[in-house]
Amino acid sequence: MTPHNEAKKEDISNIVIMPGDPLRAKYIAENFLENAHLVNSVRNIYAYTGEYKNKKITVMASGMGNPSIGIYSYELFKLYDVDYIIRIGTAGAYAEDLDLLDLVLVEKSFSESSYAKLQNGNTDNLIESSNLLNYCIEETANKLNFKIKKGIVHCSDVFYSDVSDYKKLKKEHNCIAIEMESFALFHNAKILNKNAACILSISDSFVKEGILSPDERQTSLNNMIKLALESACNIK
Ligand code: HPA
């Protein structure tokens, strides 16, 4: 147990699916897992463990931003012996060829965040996700006939920024979309010799107009959840 997680070690699977929102963790447990039980509710950061196609899986929320996912993913990797974390979340598109509801597999995370620097002195701005997990996710997406686009995302510490320049981030760093958690997650996986991946659904765009209906959002969300869970079953 930790100050942030009351689950027993044996109640957490070595594979964790990690949405940002605790209610999304609950939704996944209730709609996709068998025999799911709540194993953490400290700060309402729900974690549920159950089975998907007979495979033990934990779904745990990360909260928003690098500091929050930094705490939970570090503890899962380091203290709960978790080997794989697949983050699922939403992102804002920077690239013109990304449409609302598209699924993105994050190859690398670019960030101005001080998370890695403050964690172990690493001043890199770019961190890769796990090749092993990405391979698995791509293969699974092909089997499911889901289209995924791969690329670098901008992982920002600030949602309401007056100075962030998406055109520059796109041009100079090849960022195709923005979210707020992949950098700390990938950093923790790297330093602890574990595997992390991130699948995102495009929920808004900096370059295209459009609003999603609740039904469209739900379908895209369900596809992303299915892709994460099926990929978890295909980890070799
Ligand atoms: N900024 C940061 N994170 C996000 C966004 C955004 O515009 N959209 C979805 N996640």
pLDDT, tens digit, for every residue of 10-23? 999 999 999 999 99
pTM: 0.98
């939704």: which residue's tokens?
Answer: 27
**Structure tokens belonging to residue 2:** 């930790």
Mutate which of 203, 211, 212, 217 for ligand 1 pocket (most atoms within 8 A of beta carbon): 203
Distance of CA 16 to the CA centre of its chain: 10
Mean pLDDT of 146-161: 98
Angle between helices 131-144 and 214-233 (to 10 degrees): 120
Domain at 9-233: CATH code: 3.40.50.1580
| Interaxial angle between packed helices 214-233 and 22-32, expressed in degrees from 0 to 180 and rounded to the nearest 10 | 70
Closest ligand 1 atom, CA of 92?
Answer: 8
Kindly indicate the confidence band of residue 226, based on its pLDDT and cuts at 50, 70 and 90: very high
Q: Is 156 in the pocket of ligand 1 (CB under 6 A)?
A: yes
How large is the average pLDDT for residues 201-213?
Answer: 92
pLDDT of residue 61: 98
> What pLDDT does residue 213 have?
86
Q: What percent of the chain has pLDDT over 90?
A: 95
Write down the pLDDT at residue 211.
82
Ligand 1 binding pocket includes 178 (Cβ within 6 Å):
yes
Question: 13 near 59, Cβ under 8 Å?
Answer: no
Q: Within 10 Å of residue 168's Cβ, how many Cβ atoms? A: 10
Q: Please name the amino acid found at residue 136.
A: C
40 beta partners: 47
- CA–CA distance, 45 with 210 (Å, rounded to integer): 31
**pLDDT tens for residues 79-134?**
999 999 999 999 999 999 999 999 999 999 999 999 999 999 999 999 999 999 99
Mean pLDDT of the chain: 97
Closest CA to 169 of 83, 99, 230, 92: 92
For residue 177, pLDDT over 90 is answered with yes
User: Cα–Cα distance between 170 and 94 in angstroms, integer?
Assistant: 7
pLDDT at 16: 99
Residue 199 predicted with pLDDT over 90: yes
